[in-house]
Structure 1
Amino acid sequence: MEIDWSVGEISNVLEKNKIADNTIFIFTTDNGPWLNYGKIQFI
């Protein structure tokens, strides 16, 4: 949902500034969030 909202916001600005026709979106992924290296301990 977050990526959909973000792309929508970017698309709206591009269209508002009349540059959407000259723009390409490229999506990449790392297949998920950060790695879990175990329990974080706060002192």
Structure 2
Amino acid sequence: MKFEDLKQVTKLPKEPIVNLLKLVEIYYAVDEFLRNLFPVGNKWLNV
């Protein structure tokens, strides 16, 4: 599942799922931020 797909899904009117995906979106945003800080490799999220 791509990051853009997550953004599309968050527009669906399903509150619990939307809230969960918002958390996932924040998680990926934080992970991307950490990857930029440590370009050598981020062991926190290994994908």
| TM bucket normalised to smaller | 0.3 to 0.5
TM-score normalised by L of structure 1: 0.41
TM-score normalised by L of structure 2: 0.38
Q: Hey, which of these two has a bigger chunk of helix by percent? A: 2
Bigger Cα Rg: 1
Greater relative contact order, per chain length (Cα 8 Å cut-off, separation 6+): 2
